[in-house]
A and B are shown apart, each in its own frame.
Chain A
């Protein structure tokens, strides 16, 4: 459990805690995502956060395991359910929370909101709210790296709903045809909004689809953070060494509704409760405790740290000023170019 791959620390941009075991860092990061999003849901109720808010609660092992397997210099392309990915890529929680509030101190200056978190300096190319929209972008980022002789992986997160889009098939084909270093990371939470996978796809084995483009694949339990980490690490290594793409499917589940407008009429409460028993935070901390690598006090300490970070982020977002309306037309085009 005390794996300390050289890539993990540099890759995450999170507060470096050299003394803390790797497993504790994984747990701490899942808790940071969870507590941040629970607070977001609360703030949505209080109308501090508006628009769409897609919570990742239940799926934290995917972003956590995967992000810890990437290098700091790798590109990341994400979806509209990307709060956790942004956070673990190193976007400060203050900037994420301020973005949710719509403040100019937000990581996208308040112009993007929950679905469009960006951080160019950390090569985080955004939340993309068109399902499948990120795949061609990831192919292009990888193409640019290849043409410039840069050895870098482009990690592209998307949900299983995206595999129904043409963009998935076109992107998969281009990446395979041109042997581009794209790491396709499919978070299969079984429901595309309200439509179950087997109600929308004739072939529900997603790896088969990727393999039909001659892309190597791995399928892994997305509720198990260590399994996610190990699969992503292996896949990223192969992409880095051999140059071509790789497809990893994480089997996971979202515990909350699709968005804050979703009454969840399409799935049984019993199914949700069954998956919750396998909740990634709960099961990983139990595993660590059973192995004698975590005490209840240790868990509470990590949790308290996450809560404190969230409280500070909310205070920052609350205090941050609104962008003046006079600035409305900025950032449509690049300054200096007349429009």
Chain B
């Protein structure tokens, strides 16, 4: 069956709400409006205003309330409209959700899922185009997910809700309209990276909204006889070092694609782990394709130039392979 990423996420949320009375969805315009990205359309009528809870524009307040509700025995799903606004809730996510278990000596857990859209590409300019997944992936105590496929959009929420600790889920805004076949076995773990396209000459490692770009680049390279493996990180914390190292030690080369800015990026962390684990297997220095170090511009051609694109990925792969 072909469905959209949005529909896959909607089905996952519906399952969660229908199967566990402790689950509720809370956030800005999740209810009457139907969700900013229309993911929760129809839920308000089906599950009611208590469980599809519209909030004021109080990111710090309602994320904190989600943490408190999780402490109190519920399984909240808090939707922060976008990662850009999550900065207003950063204190509660970092200082409460991530720390409460440790500060209490293991007495309490925070079984909370925080969903947010991320990324650029729609000419929304600098304040609505951030990719700050790495900020969250830096913090011990939270798990960070980046579903980039129809199956992961359908499958990641259930294990995220089953996790007794806070999970932050990034949904790249460019993916919602993506359509694809929902496989029968869409159930998945939230532990491991996945090889999306097997290949032999180079490991192209990426996540989230950059996955389709990496796959496009790999397809183009294949037409020229260049065989590239595409690795989808899926889980940004904890990183699945094993899958990354296994792939790179086989292909001996790596290019990392990350929509975050280069300095202090997740790509930098992946590269460090490759160097730590596969140094003697490498035939060339790893290379990164990241966003340029500029706030994301409004003008379409400038925005496009700031972000990783298939052409840049292809060029980087050719550089590493020297072909």
Contacts and interface: CB of A to CB of B under 8 A. Distances in A.
Interface of A: 75, 106-112, 116, 118-121, 125-126, 128, 130, 133, 135-145, 147-148, 166-167, 170-171, 173-174, 177, 330-334, 336-339
Given A112-B104, A136-B68, A334-B101, A148 B61 contact: no
7 contacts: A112-B104, A119-B107, A130-B96, A133-B64, A133-B92, A136-B60, A334-B165
A106 B64 CA distance: 26
B58 A108 contact: no
Interface in B203-237: none
Contacts of A126: 100, 103-104
Contacts of A118: 103-105, 107-108
Contacts of A109: 105-106
B247 to A, nearest CB: 20
B91 A108 contact: no
A268 to B, nearest CB: 34
Interface residues on B, range: 35 or more
Contacts of A171: 61, 64-65
A143 B69 contact: yes
B289 interface: no
Contacts of B50: 147
Interface of B: 24, 50-51, 55-56, 58, 60-74, 76, 91-92, 95-96, 100-109, 140-141, 143, 163-165, 191, 238
B106 to A, nearest CB: 4
B64 A332 contact: no
A174 B191 CA distance: 35
A109 B108 CA distance: 12
Given A126-B100, A166-B60, A339-B143, A111 B105 contact: yes
B143 A141 contact: no
B92 A136 contact: yes
Given A166-B60, A332-B102, A332-B141, A136 B107 contact: no
A330 B104 CA distance: 12
Contact of B103 (A111, A141, A142, A174): A111
Nearest to A108: B105
A145 B68 CA distance: 10
A324 to B, nearest CB: 15
Given A108-B105, A118-B103, A139 B68 contact: yes
Contact of B104 (A116, A148, A338): A116
Nearest to B58: A170
A186 B108 CA distance: 25
Given A108-B105, A167-B61, A177 B56 contact: yes
Contact of A140 (B65, B101, B143, B238): B65
B104 A120 contact: yes
Nearest to A146: B50
B122 to A, nearest CB: 29
